[in-house]
Amino acid sequence: MPRPIIAAIHVDALTHNLSVARQHSRGAKVWAVVKANAYGHGLDNALCAFSQADGLALVEVDGAVTLRESGWRKPILLLEGFFRAEDLVQVKQHHIDVVVHNSHQIDLLARSGFPAGANENSGKNVVESINKIRVHLKINGGMNRLGFKPAQAAVAFQRLQAIDDVEIVDMVMHFANADDAFNTNLPLAEQLRRFVQAQSAIKAVSETSDVARHSSLCNSASILLQDGLNTEWVRAGIMLYGGTPTLATAISFDLKPAMTLSSEVIAIQDLEVGDAVGYGSRFIAPTAMRIGVVACGYADGYPRHAPNGTPVLVDGVRTMLVGRVSMDMLTVDLSAIPEARVGSAVTLWGQGLPIDDVAHSAGTIGYELMCAVAQRVPLVVDSN
């Protein structure tokens, strides 16, 4: 028998959450973000669930090629662009859009000089293109990760415009604090002001270009919380998978969990007052109690740093983690679940237990938990 832990992927929930993103997007087109193997849910599952998205966005070049070879014909966007000159051959062969966020990338584009045959590919499932490389110009609005600062935007635009193989599609920016619009270090309004400054600079150097009118700004937080923002495209990420980037619950936005990590109780221990549990003996039984040993540990992706009290479901009843998470096991309090036994069903997160509840208790975010599910945990598509 295989070890009793699985991650069930709810494809219907993924599709539902995409519809929620569209409802909040004021008519904008939706990039469904599928980086990190679709946040741990599987690219193949995302491809099926997000068939009605206007485009798919990710950071892995090989993943973008896989999507094309799997039959996706709509736009694909590389959110970090390309990393080396060799990537550009794949980008052009497979008609993949790229974000350009630094001068080094512009240098590579300017030197690319695609040789004859660069667009040839015999694979029947591969998009062949003689079109220009579609570039999305990234603006640094103050987050200071990627992008050109407003004062650099016009020069970057002019350099790109001078490259025959390039078509500049729009301007993009990423909000640092869309869930905290009045953040004292970087308010949302200040990021928008800097974006408008970059737009104005580009308009000033190119009266014929309409690039400055087209934008992609909104991530999940701004889609859900900033309804007044009008952009041509939005980038829906964590919300598609049933998590929320805000302190509000996912269910309050009608988002459904798309992954349920489940296991079973594999052993039960009866403790007396003063008995310790697990490595470091960090939990001491305050009274006589039963604990269940669950087949899930940090090697499966469960956070080792999760503290006593982190919520867990056993046979549908909410209880809590006790003791330190080990590599392959964790322990839970069964005191209020007298009917629990070896083989009882355990939900670590998902249907019945929001992943954000677990993440907040563990001092992290739902994104990390989804993406950290280990390869040894089978992904099973939920057919219900």
The pair of three-digit structure tokens given for residue 63, joined into one six-digit string: 């993943």
Tokens 């953040």 label which residue?
A: 183
Which amino acid appears at position 121 of this protein?
Answer: N
Quote the Cα angle for 331-337-340, to 5°.
70
- Alpha helix locations (H) across 59-177? 61-69, 85-93, 103-111, 150-161
Which H or E run contains 266?
Answer: strand 259-271
d(CA 39, CA 37): 5
Annotated catalytic, 298? no
279 assigned to active site: yes
Candidates 138, 279, 302, 367; catalytic one? 279
Of 35, 92, 138, 256, the catalytic one is 35
Our measurement of the distance from residue 146's CA atom to the centroid of its chain's CA atoms, rounded to an integer in Å, reads 17
Residue 263 and residue 376: Cα distance in Å, rounded?
13
**Helix runs in 24-148, H state only:** 35-39, 43-49, 61-69, 85-93, 103-111
- Catalytic positions are 35, 279
